[in-house]
Amino acid sequence: MAKEYFKDPDSTGNIIYVEFVDANGDPVTDILHDDADLHIYGVRQGAVESEIATVELATPAADDPYLSGGFIHVGGEKYRLDVPNSFYAAGVEFFELRGEADAGATQMLPVKVNLNMVSQSDIGTEIGGYFDEMTEDDGGTKRFTLNALEQAPSGGGSSPWSGAQVAEVLAELDGILARLPASLTANGNIAASLQEIVDSAAAADNLKTTMDTVIRTTVEVAPAPTDTSFKGPDSLSAVDNFYNGRIVIFTTGPLALQVTKVEGYVGATNVFTVTQTTGAPADGNEFVLI
């Protein structure tokens, strides 16, 4: 996959970084600008490929000023390459680079340089134009105002917002902000009414009663669990058949997410008899009793 850069058309003095690897994909770190087997090629969109003559930088050092064709190893598999300014001329959308060394045994990973259709400086001017139309609050922070959104930016162009659209957005925001406090608890959490969710007071009460009786607990080691019986903790009810008809959902262990039904329960031992499962739960496996 090609490494990509984004540069302005007609920009000059651009420095990019390329990578060389051997046949195994390992970094190659010893290539020099004047190696006889070093060849780097560039091709502008729709044009004929041409070779870039690599030269030694002034010092030479990795932070030397731009020099057309400059080439130097900067660390690992990375090399600095000062692509000639002619490749950046306006009129195409991109150009591509490839290269090789050591008679083809070493390859430069391909590079694609995209030439922005709108220059970065033009984008900055446009954004700056909108920013200039903001107003500063007492703390010096710039904020949009209704008039600012309606105005054309000083950098040129026109605002896509009409006064009516802005007013509508601001009114909606005001409504949301007005409703938020009533929707929050004292801790700042969203308050959710179960009755409003199910749209029935009776259903909400039934659901609450059900949730209050849900038990989350674990399987005990003895007596040994089987596919039809297992023991719960001593904290469970001491009344025989107290949980008959309830649903058991295993949440951990080999039976995780399996569901079964309580057929019998011995209060003195806290042992459940259940509809047969696919295997025995293990000591410490968690289950929910609904």
- Is the per-residue pLDDT at 153 higher than 70? no
Of 117, 15, 87, residue with least CA distance to 57 = 15
Our count of domains for the chain comes to: 3
Position 181 in a domain? no
Domain coverage including residue 227: 213-289
Mean pLDDT, residues 143-155 taken together = 51
Weakest-pLDDT range from 25-29, 90-94, 143-147, 221-225: 143-147
Report H helices in the chain.
120-132, 146-150, 163-183, 194-198, 201-213
Are 99 and 18 in the same domain?
A: yes
- Is the per-residue pLDDT at 154 higher than 60? no
Domain end position, chosen among 98, 131, 160: 160
Are 90 and 36 in the same domain?
A: yes
pTM of the model: 0.44
Are 58 and 132 in the same domain?
A: no
Q: CA–CA separation, 231 vs 285, rounded Å? A: 11
- What does the pLDDT read at residue 12? 93
- What does the pLDDT read at residue 147? 53
- Is the per-residue pLDDT at 98 higher than 80? yes
Position 202 in a domain? no
- Is the per-residue pLDDT at 142 higher than 60? no
Q: Is the peptide bond before 254 cis (omega within 30 degrees of 0)?
A: no
Are 246 and 268 in the same domain?
A: yes
Are 54 and 148 in the same domain?
A: no
Decide if 242 contacts 230 (C-beta within 8 A): no
Are 100 and 19 in the same domain?
A: yes
- What does the pLDDT read at residue 29? 92
Mean pLDDT, residues 211-234 taken together = 88
